[in-house]
Chain A
């Protein structure tokens, strides 16, 4: 006990001693540390906002889900015996126990009649555990339920197939959502640490350039890395302590104002204080580590003698021949060149935050696009082997007529042209598509899967497009006989269009930009077979198709020689062309879809052509139904019931073979809207933008302060005040011009990288191809450019004012300003 107390006393003494010394140093040189106060405040504010919003996002999601669902699980289409089995806890082994333990409760059920055999079917809604049971308990009960009950339901009726569909609701998946949110939060934390360390390290390096003399003296008298690091760390630690509480308070206030309009209870966890503290501590530690490590490796004398600007000069030993040059114009232009290393460092460091500002706004735009992106509310699976239902024009008509029954019920609340069902997309006999998603709205076959490939005129492929190679007839076993030069690829999706049921597809495609006439595909005949094609691969424009362009697709016949199974990609395709026998189908482009999201390029062809090319009959197995986003829960329930009735009664379907799955898109979107990432990204972007002027003014003030000696010398040699003024203004103007160029370049680069990441890289992980347009927020660019140009100019102009003010006061008997090192 005594030992512990003594230890605590020593730790306390150590802390207070270091803090006292650092406190004195920081406040003695308060002006020089102002920039660190601002920078550390901003990074704490950023992180505080992220931490508080993460807590609120979980809370908002929970409140939204609780409003939406009071059950964890829904099991549809149960028979009476199956329903009774669940109702009476009829698991022979666990019955009594379950009732006491309340493994599950049937919250509600819907009873319907199957039109085919007139048997009753039940949809059962279950909640696991007692009201308010912990997530862990609910999860374990759900697992137990699946193991003990769900697995035996089919056996009760003696079915060999599963006659029911079970769906977990967002309430059951809440803990997964929290885990996912937390993972995202930690990734953001890591990114913010990197960004913050970059910022503070940049500022610290600027400071280090000015304080090498001091560190040189310290090292002369025995300071090693530990000592230098300690000195720097404790100073920033003191600053961090001062800004800590105001930053947490400010971030709480900002997040509160962002979230308040949603009407949910604002969640604040005291843990945020700890999170922000630990975050700041890590950032401060990491920020001073490298600059101090590098300094400690240098020789003390080299630090002491580089107290002037020579440490900023790129090539101090290379002099310019100034003889006969115009002063001060050419003199200063040379200076800009002499200090180019410093200028480049400053421009890139300061302006990168302007580019990040634009990236943040881009992210906000992506978030909004993603929210507005049409996603199916329902997925309807038609099991063609077990149902009489097939996707034909009659079913399509029936589905579209849902609007009428909806308006009959809710006509008073909506306009007469309101569409409850916005769109239907279909998928069928899809092949494994190697990272591609079924954005396919029709039966689809991937060319690779059937050893097929597409031949495209060279002129129709964009330069540097990847995944192509030049087609040489001499390298092919059964060469294509068409005229012209071709490029070949197998990154192609063949898609079928039903000539008797095409409206839904065309309606779906009409949301994209289309060149040409999609309906012309219906005019295909023996001589001319039309296709609708996309112009992109991995969401990037790859093709330069025009209406009337010709393409050819191959159909695999046989393998003359076996192909090495270890080959892949282009080398595999080359070998296939050489070793396999193919036939070719000529196709003519009748329409080009400009912005359809896709991994591989889609080629739509009529059913007959599809079958001839792929050798597979087109079948539809799944419908995705898009409901209007303005509908609420009651409307959705109505549509769901109408849909079931229609399937059962009008189409004589067996509900056991048709599953209607609620994809919870509406609920998910509502949660996302209330998570307010859009506003958060904008707020964070603005904060990031504030960093740029901090770097500009801090760096330039120190730079011009160091150059004051040079100006004094040239004045003593005959330069007048006007010359010095020109030197300052020329420096400011040149920085402004360079800022203009660099900020436009970096902003464009940042935006393009975001565009590329979200269109090409992210879909590989998210398994969903959303097409984002390239977006350069002009207002943000204008703000960023104005800020960079203004900072470039004024960061030279203000030191110039200060220089002349001090000189004036000195010349008039004032004491002037004695600058500290």
Chain B
């Protein structure tokens, strides 16, 4: 296993294919990526290009047909379902395009869900919770059900849920795709600020170039093939405030 502590995420020759009747569709075709710790990487591409599939595979939410995914020196592609589940809960956070909140749970219960899944001692997440609730402006809405919240509020709850365990790496699949511009801007700013404060790595899929330009590097996914589009590590990237 290749180990390099500089990298938070390494994807090597990842292939994902779907069989449909007689034909085989290649959603991800030999994708390679290396993301450093604390780096913000965006993947852009048109709908159906395979960017979400690649993100799911990197986050261990889906299996690749071939290739390796290494998260902070640990190869997750070799893990069994249970081991991967535990690893995901402790080290990764995920934000979906649709908020995917559990409708029966209140906002607070949804936020705390990952702590329950990881059997965290009762008080260890208190500080994280307080900070997230404050930053995301959810203190008035904690005891509301998702059906009683607006789309933006739901997505903020989803962000809090992804961050509550203070994961090392965050995966976001078009996190503002379902929101109007104003709401999207607001939510995104909050997400990026918190991430910056915590120094977390972020891999985000988006089709919004304006958002992608705030990343350290931008990759483009086209018909399953992943290529580096822009590298702002030398400077020139957009700041959160300029967004």
Indicate if A218 sits at the interface (CB-CB under 8 A). yes
What are 15 A-B pairs with beta-carbon distances under 8 A? A25-B104, A213-B100, A214-B102, A218-B117, A220-B59, A221-B117, A221-B165, A222-B89, A222-B165, A224-B81, A225-B82, A225-B85, A301-B62, A302-B62, A821-B102
Closest to B83 in A: A224
State the A residues within 8 Å of B (CB): 25, 28-29, 213-214, 217-227, 296-302, 304, 317-318, 818, 820-821
Interface residue tally for chain B (C-beta within 8 Å): 30
Q: Is there contact, CB below 8 Å, between A222 and B117?
A: yes
Contacts of A301 in B (CB 8 A): 56, 61-62
Q: Are A227 and B21 within 8 A (Cβ)?
A: no
4 shortest A-B CB distances, which residue pairs? Answer: A222-B89, A224-B85, A221-B114, A222-B117
**Are the CB atoms of B104 and A29 closer together than 8 Å?**
yes
B94 within 8 A of A: yes
B82 touches A218 (CB 8 A): no
- Smallest Cβ distance from B149 to chain A, in angstroms? 13
Residue of A nearest to B19 (CB): A317
Q: Specify which chain A residues have a CB less than 8 angstroms from the CB of B63 in the assembled complex.
A: 299
Whole-angstrom distance between the alpha carbons of A218 and B56 in the complex?
15
Contact A219–B100 (Cβ < 8 Å): no
Q: What 1/0 flags go to B51-74 for Cβ under 8 Å of A?
A: 000001001011100000000000
Please state if A222 and B21 are interface contacts (CB–CB under 8 Å): no
Give the CA-CA distance A407 to B159 in the complex, in Å: 97
Bound complex: CA of A225 vs CA of B81, how far in Å?
8
Q: Does B12 contact A (CB under 8 A)?
A: no
Q: Assuming the A-B contacts A300-B61, A818-B147, are A223 and B102 also in contact, with contact meaning beta carbons closer than 8 angstroms in the complex?
A: no
**Distance to closest chain B CB from A109 (angstroms):** 75
Per-position contact with A for B99-114: 1 when CB-CB < 8 Å, else 0?
0111110000000011
In chain B between 75 and 98, which residues have their CB closer than 8 angstroms to a CB of chain A?
81-83, 85-86, 88-90, 94, 96
Given contacts A222-B117, A223-B117, A301-B62, contact A217 B85 (CB under 8 A): no
Residues of B within 8 A of A821 (CB): 102-104
Give every chain B residue within 8 A of A28 (Cβ-Cβ).
104
Take A217-B102, A299-B63, A301-B56 as given contacts and tell me if A222 and B86 are in contact as well, using a CB distance cutoff of 8 Å. yes
Shortest beta-carbon distance from B61 to chain A in Å? 4
What's the nearest-Cβ distance from chain A to residue B160, in Å? 12
> Is B147's CB under 8 angstroms from A224's CB?
no
- How far, in angstroms, from A818 to B148 measured CA to CA in the complex? 11
B205 to chain A, nearest CB (A): 13
* Chain B contacts with A in 17-47, Cβ cutoff 8 A: 20-21
- Interface centre among A224, A226, A318, A821, by most chain B C-beta atoms within 10 angstroms, is A224
B-side contacts of A223, CB under 8 Å: 85, 89, 117
Contact (Cβ within 8 A) B62 A299? yes
Is the pair B104, A820 in contact by a Cβ cutoff of 8 Å?
yes
CA distance A488 to B186 in the complex (A): 92
**Are B61 and A820 in touch, CB under 8 angstroms?**
no
CA–CA, A223 and B118, complex, Å: 7
B104 and A222 form a contact (CB under 8 A): no
| CA distance in complex: A217, B86 (Å) | 13
Most interface-central of A214, A220, A300 (chain B CB within 10 A): A220
- Would B82 and A220 count as touching, CB distance under 8 A? no
B104 and A221 form a contact (CB under 8 A): no
Residues of A within 8 A of B21 (CB): 317-318
Smallest Cβ-Cβ distance to B20: which chain A residue:
A317
Asked whether B156 is an interface residue with its Cβ less than 8 Å from the other chain, the reply is: no
Encode B158-195 as 1/0 by CB contact (under 8 A) with A.
Answer: 00010001000000000000000000000000000000
- In the bound complex, residues from chain A placing their C-beta under 8 Å from that of B59 are 220
User: Given A297-B81, A300-B61, A301-B61 in contact, is the A222-B100 Cβ separation under 8 Å?
Assistant: no
**Please, how many angstroms separate the alpha-carbon atoms of A226 and B82 in the complex?**
8
User: In the complex the two chains form, what is the Cα distance from A300 to B57 in whole Å?
Assistant: 11
**B209 → chain A closest CB, angstroms:** 26
Compute how far the CA of A299 lies from the CA of B86 in the bound complex, rounded to whole angstroms: 13
B86 touches A224 (CB 8 A): yes
Report whether B81 and A222 are in contact in the complex, using a CB–CB cutoff of 8 Å: no
B161 / chain A contacts, CB cutoff of 8 Å: 221
Q: How far is the CA of A298 from the CA of B62 in the complex (A)?
A: 9
Q: B81 and A221: CB pair below 8 A?
A: no
> With the chains together, A29 CA to B145 CA distance in Å?
14
Cβ-neighbour of B117 out of A213, A227, A304 (below 8 A): A227
- Are A221 and B94 in contact, with the CB atoms below 8 A? yes
List of A residues within 8 angstroms of B96 by Cβ: 304
Question: What separation, in Å, do the CA atoms of A29 and B83 have in the docked complex?
Answer: 30
Which of B56, B62, B100 is within 8 Å of A217, CB to CB? Answer: B100
Q: Please give the distance in Å from A821's CB to the nearest CB on chain B.
A: 5
A750 to chain B, nearest CB (A): 39
User: Which residues of chain B come closer than 8 Å to A214, judged between CB atoms?
Assistant: 102
Shortest CB–CB separation between residue A27 and chain B, in angstroms? 11
- A300 and B92 CA atoms in complex are apart in Å by 14
Which of B90, B94, B118, B119 sits near A220, CB closer than 8 Å?
Answer: B94
Contacts A818-B147, A820-B103: A221 and B61 contacting too (C-beta < 8 A)? Answer: no
Distance A222 CA – B119 CA, assembled complex (angstroms): 10
| Min C-beta distance of A280 to chain B, whole Å | 25
Among B20, B94, B102, the most chain A Cβ lie within 10 Å of the Cβ of B102
CB distance from A107 to the nearest CB of B (A): 68
Task: Give bound CA distance, A452 to B183, whole Å.
Answer: 96
Chain B residues with CB below 8 A from A299, complex form: 61-63
Chain B residue numbers with a CB within 8 Å of A213 are 100
Q: How far apart are B71's CB and chain A's nearest CB, in angstroms?
A: 14
Q: Nearest CB to that of B164 among chain A residues? A: A221
Question: A217 — which chain B residues lie within 8 A by C-beta?
Answer: 100-102, 113
Question: Which residue of A is nearest B89, CB measured?
Answer: A222
Which chain A positions have C-beta within 8 A of B56?
301
Q: Is the CB of B102 within 8 A of A220?
A: no
CB neighbours of B117 from chain A (8 A): 218, 221-223, 227
* Chain A residue nearest to B171 in the complex (CB): A220
Shortest beta-carbon distance from B154 to chain A in Å: 13
Whether A224 pairs with B82 at a CB distance below 8 angstroms is yes
Q: Which B residues lie within 8 Å of A220 (CB)?
A: 59, 61, 88, 94, 100
Min Cβ gap B145→A in Å is 9
Residue ID in chain B nearest A213 by CB atoms:
B100
**Distance between Cα atoms of A318 and B22 in the complex (Å):** 11
Q: How many angstroms from the CA of A318 to the CA of B71 in the assembled complex? A: 38
Query: Quick check: B103 and A296 within 8 Å, CB to CB?
Result: no
Q: How far is the CA of A821 from the CA of B104 in the complex (A)?
A: 8
Are B89 and A304 neighbours in the complex by a CB distance under 8 Å? no
Given contacts A29-B104, A222-B118, A296-B81, 12 further A-B contacts (CB under 8 A): A217-B102, A218-B117, A221-B94, A221-B117, A221-B161, A221-B165, A223-B89, A223-B117, A296-B85, A297-B81, A301-B56, A302-B62
Measured in the bound complex, the distance between the Cα atoms of B165 and A622 in whole Å is 85
CA gap between A298 and B103 in the complex, in Å: 22
Residue on B nearest A307 in the bound complex, by CB: B100
Hey, what's the 0/1 contact readout for B209-226 against A, CB within 8 Å counting as 1? Answer: 000000000000000000
**Bound-complex Cα distance A218 to B63 (A):** 17
Closest residue of chain A to B98 (Cβ to Cβ) is A304
Q: Is the CB of B85 within 8 A of A219?
A: yes
Neighbouring A residues of B83 by C-beta, 8 Å: 224
A811 to B85, CA, bound (A): 44
A222, A226, A302: the one contacting B114 at CB < 8 Å is A222
User: How far apart are the CA atoms of A302 and B147 in the complex, in Å?
Assistant: 24
CB distance from B136 to the nearest CB of A (A): 17
CB-CB under 8 A from A297, the residues of chain B are 81
- Measured between alpha carbons, how far is A67 from B129 in the docked complex, in Å? 75
Contacts of B82 in A (CB 8 A): 224-226, 296
Residue pair A218, B62 in contact (C-beta under 8 Å): no
With CB as the reference atom, state the residue of chain A lying closest to B100: A217
Measured between alpha carbons, how far is A668 from B72 in the docked complex, in Å?
75
Whether A222 and B90, one on each chain, are in contact in the complex, defined by CB atoms closer than 8 angstroms, is yes
Contact in complex: B147, A222 (CB < 8 Å): no
Tell whether, in the assembled complex, residue B103 and residue A221 are in contact, meaning their CB atoms are under 8 Å apart: no
Contact: A221 with B102, CB < 8 Å? no
Known: A217-B102, A304-B100. A222 touches B62 (CB 8 A): no
Is there contact, CB below 8 Å, between B89 and A221?
Answer: yes
